[in-house]
Amino acid sequence: MIENSFNRRGFLKVLGWGGATVALSGCGNTSVEDGREFVTSYVQTADYIIPSIGTYFNSTCAQCDAGCGIMGRVREGRVLKLEGNPKSSINNGKMCGLGQAGVQAHYNPDRIREPLLRNGDKGEAIPWGKALELINEKIGGVKAENIAFLTGGVSGHVKALLKNYLDALGSGHHYVYEAVAPSIMRAANRKTYGVEMPRLRLDKAKVVVSFGADFLGAWISPVHFSQQYARFRKADNGERGVLVQVESKMTLTGANADRWLAIRPGTEGILALGLINALAAAGLSVPGDVAAVVREYTTDRVSKDTGVSAEHIGRLAALLKERSPSLVIAGSAAEGYAHGSQNATAIALLNQVLGNVGKTVEAPSSIPFPQMAPSTGNRFALQSLNDNMAQDKVKVLFSYGVNPVFTAPASMKLKENLKKVPFKVVFAHYMDETALEADLVLPLNSALEDWATVMPEYVAEGAQLNIQQPLMEKLYPGTLGMGDILLALLKQRRPDEYKGYEDFYSYLRSAMVSNKGALGGSTTDDDTFWDATLSHGVVKLVSTPVNMSGNVSAKGLVVPGPFAEDSAYPFHLIPAVSASLRDGRNANEPWLQESPDPLTTIVWDSWVEMHPKTAAKLGIVEGDIVEVASRSGAIKAQVYVFTGIHPDVISVPLGYGHEAMGRYAKGVGVNAFKILDPVFDKETGELAMHETRVKVSKAGRRVVIVKDEGPAGGNQMGRKIAVRVSSNKVNLSEEV
């Protein structure tokens, strides 16, 4: 596709951009203005380069960890828009809004443009050579075990290089931290199935019961699940899948459910066991040990504990029995408690009793290159790093791809502990909260101007390696890719091994080409293989499904009863992960701030969701500013009242409330991470995100909520606008 590197670089050069002329003078009564603008012209071109016709280059989306393949439309050297890469089995040419905003991460005006060294309170621009030398110097001065590397989920060649670098340093302290990762689910899955990420086949299921898994919004790989969901809803045989969502705060997935069951927080496991009992009573064969465990979970008791009506439990059990296969998913809402692992096990047990394992819960594939396999993160990692920092065990800290100062609960005192680390290097795109604490800030290339490979954790079938390639030339000469930085650092340590690689690109190319046999290119020559790889954007890996055990033992499964009332802190706080802001890393992309939250339609601010009953009890109306106080802290935000939430629960979205980062993120909303209580899952030691108990009090002020919804709210006022009918009234198989 690209004949030589000169062509490629030449093409990706920004051309025809004579200042603001391209499209900005839109609507004036502009007459013909000859001789002012420049014509797009090249020194050399390739055949496929035709001015004013966009060319598509495949790459990988870096907006979240799902690893969707993207296709960037490049015109005159500028990347204009991203589309989904049809060749990627994750997203098959589709995308989400978050991914669309990738261009805004790239063109963001608040990106750091050169390395900054702390000088008092200010950052002082220094050249890269000096920065890397400084790192070398600082590392030389400390013991290897005092060096810590904190990253988000990493995979592919960057991960391999990182590992090599850590090996070269002799330190194994690599903390992989993800603020909102499904890490309890991974642990629970490992326990029940022997794998962390079994493949969920919504498209094969006739009934999906999701315990708080927002798979259409922000859970694992939403674009992929959305596509499966579409097939699930519109099966080829015309039988429409039924989605039942059980959760205490309505997620986007809950909003699309045929039945949304508001459950008392933390009692998901009880409902799962109760369903098994009801299924057993309805004649489903249930193993004896399981039956013994669930016997006490009678429908009446479960209904009383969970708040889900007996009628719905009965109907759900009947539905599950009648329509098989089904799929039961345990999501973050079920797992965010101190007994989260037990909840997950109970839900996995339900899946197993229903015989879904192997049918709709499938084994993932093995990954042929374990050194590139995704290292998944959790909150436990941050906890242990924090402990080490508190004990002055960390002398040099590298931070990449995470923003722990923003995402750590205040109770961790992370910011104070960071101050104990003498030298902190932060690789960042923005001057975010963590970068502000750094001694050395190294600016990274955006995902659209960088080379990398990404191995997604969740792939539909087999395993694949995604290529991330530059879609245009670097906007700022002062930024570098993570691969390039690691390579430069490695050259300091192991010059002989790495001196052959001019830059990360040449390293990547030679690493890929030398393994082309395993990457499906055994019969082609190097250049053809490489060109094909870049043009596809994804490489299918030769892999086989791993063995997956599906035998959950009911032994020792104890699901605690519902929470006792807490008169001082009467409400459960559910920190909601929004589909666009996630853990806050995308908060500086204005499209995401301006795209209304699907359920509340609120923009540009945080809010406190509350059930009308709760609001009435507290004498609160929409727009009241309330103080939400936990034992660890308090935040103030506007109240939004709606019926998609359990009356015992209030919910605040995550990702807002940045104190730094950039013009679009700073000062917008409040940071709900801060007030999370330090309660941990008993089995995995993970932070139990939904355990925080809060009290709510009016703070006096009232504002008009900025949202898209009008005064009619979600009421159609008798007009026929959005129509809903019962599914037995139509026959989907007759439709096109």
Partner 1 sequence: MGKDIREDIAWAQINKDVLKSLESPRRMYWVILFIAIAMIGVAVGCEIYQYTTGMGVANKNNSHVWSLYIATFIFWIGMSHSGTLLSAILHLMHADWRKPIYRFAEAMTTFSLMTAGLFVLVHLGRLWMVYYVMPYPNERWVWPNFQSPLVWDMFAIATYLSSSVLFLYVGMIPDLAICRDNIHAGWRKKLYTVMSLGWEGTDRQWRNFRITYLTIACFLIPLAVSVHSIVASDFAMSNMPGWHVTSFPPYFVAGALYSGCAAIITLFIILRYVFKFEEYMTLPIMKKLVRLTFAIAMVWTYLNLIEFASVWYGHDQTAKDQLIFKATGPYAPYFWAMIFFGSILPLMLAFKRFQTHLPILFVVSILLNVGMWLERWMIISPSFAHGHYPWTWDHDQWPSLVQWGIVFGSFGWFTLLFMVFCKVFPSVSMYEVKEMVYHRSLALKHKPAVKGDY
Partner 2 sequence: MSITNLLENWSDFRQQHPSDDRPHREYKWAMSIDLDSCTGCNACSVACYAENNLPVVGKEKFAHGHSHHWIRIERYWDNDGREFADQGAQFLPMLCQHCESAPCETVCPVGATNHTADGLNSQVYNRCVGSRYCNANCPYKARYFNWYDYPTTDNVWPEPMNQQLNPDVTVRGKGVMEKCTFCVQRLTVAKSNARSAGRGVLDGEVQTACQQVCPTGAISFGNLVDPLAKVGKQWMTQQVELNKDKQAKDVKDVEEKAAKLRGYRILEELRTYPSVMYLEQLRESAI
Partner 3 sequence: MYCFLRFSILLVGLIVSAGSYAVNAAQPLTTADDLGPKVEQPIEFPHDRHAGDAAKGGMQINCMYCHTYARRSIVAGIPPLQKCIGCHQNIESVRETPRIKKLFEYWEAKKAVPWKKVHDLPDFVRFNHERHIQRFVFAQNKPVQEACGYCHGDVKTMTVARRQKPLSMGWCVSCHQKDHPVDATSTKTTHGPNDCWQCHK
**Which residue ranges make up the site for partner 1 (CB under 8 A)?**
27, 29, 704, 709-712, 715-719, 721
Choosing among partner 1, partner 3, partner 2, none, which partner's interface includes residue 605 (Cβ < 5 to 8 Å by kind)? Answer: partner 2
Choose, by CB under 8 A, the member of 32, 39, 568, 704 that binds partner 2: 704
CB of 466 to partner 3, least distance (A): 31
Residues 636-675 within binding reach of partner 2 (CB under 8 A): 642-644, 663-664, 668
Residue closer to partner 1, measured from CB, 503 or 709: 709
690, 249 Cβ separation under 8 angstroms: no
112 counts as binding partner 2 under rule CB under 8 A: no
Choose, by CB under 8 A, the member of 74, 181, 261, 344 that binds partner 2: 261
CB of 25 to partner 1, least distance (A): 15
Residue with tokens 């699309």: 256
User: What does the alpha-carbon distance between residue 42 and residue 52 come to, in Å, rounded to a whole number?
Assistant: 13
Residues 451-470 within binding reach of partner 2 (CB under 8 A): none
Cα–Cα distance list, 203 to 233, 239, 302, 586 (Å): 8, 11, 30, 30
Residue closer to partner 2, measured from CB, 586 or 630: 586
Choosing among partner 3, partner 1, partner 2, none, which partner's interface includes residue 717 (Cβ < 5 to 8 Å by kind)? Answer: partner 1
Choosing among partner 3, partner 1, partner 2, none, which partner's interface includes residue 564 (Cβ < 5 to 8 Å by kind)? Answer: none
Partner residues linked to 200 by β-bridges: 361
CB of 38 to partner 1, least distance (A): 27
Partner residues linked to 327 by β-bridges: 208
Angle in degrees, 0-180, between the axes of helices 310-322 and 299-306, rounded to the nearest 10: 120
716 counts as binding partner 2 under rule CB under 8 A: yes
Residue closer to partner 2, measured from CB, 79 or 294: 79
CB of 186 to partner 2, least distance (A): 24
Partner residues linked to 211 by β-bridges: 246, 330
User: What does the alpha-carbon distance between residue 470 and residue 483 come to, in Å, rounded to a whole number?
Assistant: 13
Choosing among partner 3, partner 1, partner 2, none, which partner's interface includes residue 725 (Cβ < 5 to 8 Å by kind)? Answer: partner 2
103 counts as binding partner 2 under rule CB under 8 A: yes
Residue closer to partner 1, measured from CB, 122 or 720: 720
Residue closer to partner 1, measured from CB, 25 or 309: 25
Residues 9-38 within binding reach of partner 3 (CB under 8 A): 15, 22-28, 30-38
446, 59 Cβ separation under 8 angstroms: no
Burial of 414: CB neighbours in 10 Å, binned 0-12, 13-18, 19+: buried
CB of 676 to partner 1, least distance (A): 35
Residue 524 in tokens: 């082609």
44 counts as binding partner 3 under rule CB under 8 A: yes
221, 199 Cβ separation under 8 angstroms: no
Choosing among partner 2, partner 3, partner 1, none, which partner's interface includes residue 524 (Cβ < 5 to 8 Å by kind)? Answer: none
With residue 223 as reference, give the H or E element that holds it: helix 222-233
515 counts as binding partner 2 under rule CB under 8 A: no
CB of 564 to partner 2, least distance (A): 23
3-state secondary structure 296-354: CCCHHHHHHHHCCCHHHHHHHHHHHHHCCCEEEEECHHHHCCCCHHHHHHHHHHHHHHC
User: What does the alpha-carbon distance between residue 438 and residue 418 come to, in Å, rounded to a whole number?
Assistant: 9
Residue closer to partner 2, measured from CB, 156 or 325: 325
396, 423 Cβ separation under 8 angstroms: yes
Residue closer to partner 2, measured from CB, 244 or 405: 244
User: What does the alpha-carbon distance between residue 486 and residue 488 come to, in Å, rounded to a whole number?
Assistant: 5
User: What does the alpha-carbon distance between residue 619 and residue 640 come to, in Å, rounded to a whole number?
Assistant: 13
Positions in the binding site for partner 3 (CB under 8 A): 15, 22-28, 30-45, 50-53
